[in-house]
């Protein structure tokens, strides 16, 4: 049974291109399911022997634990995806999860910052003019001005920035590129970083990454998160602010200022407009 689980994880890695964090979540959820099976149904030695009754009992077991509804929904979804994979690959003849209901999860509205709180956060690095602070000022401004995802921001190259045209080219999935406009403030801050900050952080002249860490290498996702956390605390905004908070704030503020929903969808790179509509709901509830 372990072999089929490993085959599924390889499928998610190689064919679905899921991130390491997502793969780890699938592995943990499915390993937990296997552990429960070994304890409660030790006679089961193949995935084809698992019935709807068994997976239904496991779903009930999860609901009785101290998990949140979203955690239970994620664990059930992982199991359903796994059995869909087994059926598609001919490893089982029927899917025991086909009629298994996923727990209903109330969709939480995204957390956003008020405009004045965003301003405080963006100003936090300007207390010093070190190369690191110039980088951080550019980083925060780009995050809020464009609404880019964490991975997109840390993956930017210097060549993606066109200050003369006031745009950043943001490569994302399926080799697509979003042309994202820069406001005057962000254009100035990024230009200052490129001229006075990045050259002092650069150790290798062949390095193409836009945002560099103290070793002169491409800034990592984790490094970006730590930077946001530090400046959020410095600005008195609490520990709950993340890079995605700035993405949410960008979208909500754009819609609130009159930008069309379709345009915000394109700026964010959402495949479906329904994903973008949640930001409209946010402001409808606040009015």
Per-position DSSP letters for the chain, written without gaps between them: -HHHHHHHHHHHHHTS---HHHHHHHHHHHHHHHHHHHHH-TT--SGGG--HHHHHHHHHHHHHTT--HHHHHHHHHHHHHHHHHHHHTTS-SS-TTTTPPPPP-PPPPPP---HHHHHHHHHGGGG--SHHHHHHHHHHHHHHHH---HHHHHT-BGGGEETTTTEEEEE-GGG-EEEEE--HHHHHHHHHIIIIIHHHH-S-TT--BSSB-TTSSBPPHHHHHHHHHHHHHHTT--TT--HHHHHHHHHHHHHHTT--HHHHHHHHT-SSHHHHHHHHHHHHHH-
pLDDT confidence of residue 270: 87
* Same structural domain, 131 and 272: yes
pLDDT confidence of residue 197: 96
Q: What is the domain-level CATH number for residue 215? A: 1.10.443.10
* Same structural domain, 264 and 228: yes
User: Is residue 258 scored above 90 in pLDDT?
Assistant: no
pLDDT confidence of residue 108: 65
pLDDT confidence of residue 155: 94
98 domain-assigned: no
* Same structural domain, 167 and 263: yes
159-216 pLDDT tens trace: 999 999 999 999 887 778 899 999 999 999 999 999 999 999 999 999 999 999 999 9
* Same structural domain, 76 and 179: no
40-59 pLDDT tens trace: 998 988 998 899 999 999 98
82-128 pLDDT tens trace: 999 999 989 999 899 888 876 665 556 678 889 999 999 999 999 89
Q: How confident is the model at residue 69 (pLDDT cuts 50, 70, 90)?
A: confident
Q: How confident is the model at residue 257 (pLDDT cuts 50, 70, 90)?
A: confident
Average pLDDT over residues 24-51: 91
Q: Which residue has the higher pLDDT, 238 or 134?
A: 134
* Same structural domain, 224 and 82: no
Domain total for the chain? 2
Most trustworthy range by pLDDT among 137-151, 254-268, 271-285: 137-151
| Predicted structure pTM score | 0.63
* Same structural domain, 169 and 72: no
User: Is residue 146 scored above 50 in pLDDT?
Assistant: yes
Residue 211, strand partner residues: none
Boundaries of domain holding 72: 2-88
pLDDT confidence of residue 281: 66
20 domain-assigned: yes
Last residue of a domain, one of 88, 103, 131: 88
Last residue of a domain, one of 41, 69, 88: 88
* Same structural domain, 121 and 226: yes
Burial readout 79-109 (b: 16 or more C-beta within 10 A, e: otherwise): bbbbbebbbeeebbeebbbeebeebeeeeee
Last residue of a domain, one of 88, 107, 134: 88
* Same structural domain, 48 and 165: no
Q: What is the domain-level CATH number for residue 53? A: 1.10.150.130
pLDDT confidence of residue 103: 66
**Averaged pLDDT of the chain:** 89
107 domain-assigned: no
pLDDT confidence of residue 287: 42
* Same structural domain, 160 and 201: yes
Q: How confident is the model at residue 282 (pLDDT cuts 50, 70, 90)?
A: low
Average pLDDT over residues 20-40: 90
The residues annotated as belonging to the active site are 149, 173, 244, 247, 270, 279
221 domain-assigned: yes
């Amino acid at each position: 049974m372990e072999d089929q689980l490993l085959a599924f994880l390889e499928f998610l890695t190689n064919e679905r291109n899921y991130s390491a964090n997502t793969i780890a979540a699938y592995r943990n959820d499915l390993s937990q399911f296997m552990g429960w099976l070994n304890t409660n149904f030790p006679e089961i030695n193949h995935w084809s022997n698992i019935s709807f009754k068994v997976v239904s009992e496991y779903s009930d077991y999860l609901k009785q634990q101290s998990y949140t509804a979203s955690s239970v929904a994620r664990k059930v979804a992982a199991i359903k995806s796994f059995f869909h994979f087994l059926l598609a690959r001919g490893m089982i003849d029927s899917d025991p999860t086909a009629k298994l209901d996923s727990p209903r999860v109330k969709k939480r509205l995204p957390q956003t910052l008020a405009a004045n709180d965003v301003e405080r956060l963006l100003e936090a690095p300007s207390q010093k003019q070190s190369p690191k602070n110039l980088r951080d000022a550019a980083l925060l401004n780009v995050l809020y001005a464009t609404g880019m995802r964490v991975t997109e921001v840390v993956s930017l190259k210097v060549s993606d920035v066109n200050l003369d045209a006031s745009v950043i080219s943001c490569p994302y999935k399926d080799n697509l590129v979003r042309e994202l406009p820069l406001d005057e403030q962000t254009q100035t801050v990024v230009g200052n970083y490129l001229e006075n900050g990045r050259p002092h952080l650069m150790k290798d002249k062949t390095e193409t990454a836009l945002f560099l860490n103290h070793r002169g290498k491409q800034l990592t996702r984790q490094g970006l998160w730590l930077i946001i956390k530090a400046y959020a605390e410095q600005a008195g905004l609490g520990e709950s602010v993340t890079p995605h908070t700035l993405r949410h704030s960008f979208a909500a503020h754009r819609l609130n200022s009159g930008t069309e929903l379709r345009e915000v969808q394109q700026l964010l790179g959402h495949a479906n407009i329904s994903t973008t509509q949640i930001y409209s709901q946010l402001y409808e509830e606040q009015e």
